Amino acid sequence: MAMLDRLTGYARPTLALRRAIQLSGDGKPAEAFPLMAIAARAGIAEAEYRVARCYLEGLGVPSSRSEGARWLRRAADRGNSDAQSLLAALYAAGLASREGDGNGAASATLFERDVSREPDWTAALDLATKAAEAGSAAGQAVLGYILSRGPKAMRDLDAAHGWYEKSAAAGCPEGCLGLALSLVRLRQPEQRSRIAAEVRRAADAGLPTAIYLLAVLTEHGMGVAVDLKAAAQFYQLAAEKGLASAQLRLGHALIDGSLTDKDPVAGDAWMRRAALAGNLDAAYRIGERHVKSPRPDYAEAATWYRRAAEGGHQRAARALASLYFSGNGVAQDADEGARWLRVSANGGNQQAQVDLANLVLLGAGEPTDRSSVAGWFEATASSGDLIAAFNLGLCFAEGIGVQKDEEQAARWMGRAAEGVAEAQYMYARMLQDGRGMTADQKQARLWFERAANGGMVDAQLALAEMLLNGRGGESMPVAAAQLFKRAAAAGHAGAMFAIGALYESGKGVSRDPATAQKWFTAAAERGHGHAQLMLGRYLSEGLAGERDPAAGRVWLERAAAQGVQEALDELREPATV
């Protein structure tokens, strides 16, 4: 029968096509294809289009996108609007090119490796326009897509909406979906019901993306009543059709039980399917689950983070960098950590930019990183991040990645001072020294006070000095002594020395040489050079009642080793009995 069909086909190509269509309808693509090819080689446009579909879908012949595109070009050149529509879609997706004239031998392209290319929007627009104007609903949908999603110079959203309207009116599922998305763009609440209706029409036709969007609408009650059970079913249907985003959402729902009964094992399986299908966020989230589980598996997390990061997922690259810095799940490698952090930062992840910039401030990273540091901090600081503003101020103050500019340093430090204690302290120093602005002791004292109240020990010490000396306001030795004691309680050696000096002089406290010696001792033991000098004097001369020249000399020698000139001078003096 097959041989008779072929003989008849060679004599009557139109009969061959008719018989091929019948065989295809009966589920016999392998028998249908040779007859369809006879009609196609005879120049029948519909046959050429159907042969192209066979190659694209692997029906009765090995799948070949390039050979499918070749036959589509032949049919499109003969004015077949279905071929024009499909070829336009392939051009827009970067799945076909205009290479070849469609007249070459089939063997030249049949075994070519199918590769993705850059979209050919110009060719796509030309073909889609021809198909749309010829009345093809599919062509109208493709043209709407090109006019709404193509290059900016090609976009015409109003025209796109009009073509989607025509396509949807003709019952094209893609047109219905495109119209729904175009209506969303209009941001008109009264259109929600219509949006949902158009999405449902496309979903009823089996479009996976439409089914997924219907699930989203049903989950959140947008244009339809909230129905979590139905939403879960829609996600399941779209997931089973291979839509990775639906697989990811279904996985989440099964893991957390937000839409259906919990089933972490099934949820994890769906997330893995999404990740293996190329969904980068799914791979990243699997990595996160391994890190945050009660018994973390960092090695497995690194595998999934790497999969997502190599695909361009910025948060995954930052997470992978963290593993390299800590040595969890991978061999510790600061250089590799910095490399992945750089990948994330260059991709636009602001957290990674700040992390890498902080590494540069600490002297790490590569020389080329320094030129980007200020820009990264500025992007984050401009959005209101006070920590980034503080770091940007440091960049201008130190000339890291930018030309040193004390006025800019003061500007950004002043902005950060609104909420960052360390910035308040640095800003107060700038006001005190007149760096980047006119010196203002009164304002400096106020900012030192804010930083001190925020618990910053250096600020407590600086404010205490101003209160003691009366700079920026009245002298308040008692309050100064209290601040020195707060800083000393936090282990600040300089504050301990200052308290010793107060007890020696009687400023803000009652004069008490014994207590002075106690504080000098505490500071000296923490390496404070001038405290070592004072303790050496106290012990050598018995200023607090206890005289121990040998121990005094030891402390003077320690002070001298730190470059305290007075200690050197006293050691040169002859010992007194």
Average pLDDT over residues 507-536: 93
Q: What is the distance of C-alpha 430 from the center of its chain?
A: 35
How far apart CA 361 and CA 370 sit, in angstroms, is: 9
* Predicted confidence (pLDDT) at residue 30 exceeds the cutoff of 80: yes
Contact 91, 127 (CB under 8 A): yes
**pLDDT grade for 575, boundaries at 50, 70 and 90:** low
**Which residues are within 8 A (CB) of 128 and not within 5 positions of it... i.e. 6 or more apart?**
84, 85, 88, 89, 92, 139, 142, 143, 146
Residue 116, pLDDT score:
59
Residue 574, pLDDT score:
66
pTM, whole model, 2 decimals? Answer: 0.68
* Predicted confidence (pLDDT) at residue 261 exceeds the cutoff of 80: yes
CATH topology of domain 43-187: 1.25.40
Residue 394, pLDDT score:
86
How far apart CA 283 and CA 304 sit, in angstroms, is: 5
Q: How many CB atoms lie within 10 A of CB 284?
A: 25
Average pLDDT over residues 423-433: 94
Residue 445, pLDDT score:
94
Contact 563, 575 (CB under 8 A): no
As a whole number of Å, the CA-based R_g of the chain is 38
More confident residue, 362 or 386: 386
Average pLDDT over residues 143-159: 95
Indicate the average pLDDT of the chain. Answer: 89
Residue 387, pLDDT score:
86
* Predicted confidence (pLDDT) at residue 210 exceeds the cutoff of 90: yes
Residue 312, pLDDT score:
95
CATH topology of domain 492-577: 1.25.40
Q: What pLDDT digit, counting tens, does each position of 307-319 carry?
A: 999 999 999 999 9
Average pLDDT over residues 449-456: 92
Asked whether this chain's domains 43-187 and 492-577 adopt the same fold, the reply is yes
**Both tokens of residue 33?**
């294809």
Domain range list for the chain: 43-187, 492-577
Lowest mean pLDDT among 226-235, 268-277, 399-408: 399-408
Q: What pLDDT digit, counting tens, does each position of 170-186 carry?
A: 999 999 999 999 999 88
Q: What pLDDT digit, counting tens, does each position of 98-141 carry?
A: 765 444 444 444 444 555 578 999 999 999 999 999 999 999 99
Residue 105, pLDDT score:
44
Q: How many CB atoms lie within 10 A of CB 469?
A: 11
Report in angstroms the alpha-carbon separations of 431 from 413, 414, 415, 422, 440: 11, 10, 14, 14, 5
**What letter would DSSP give residue 104?**
S
Residue 571, pLDDT score:
87
Share of the chain above pLDDT 70, in %: 93
List alpha helices for 171-243, DSSP H.
Answer: 173-185, 192-204, 208-220, 228-240
Average pLDDT over residues 391-413: 88
More confident residue, 377 or 192: 192
Residue among 145, 152, 148, 119 nearest 131 (CA): 145
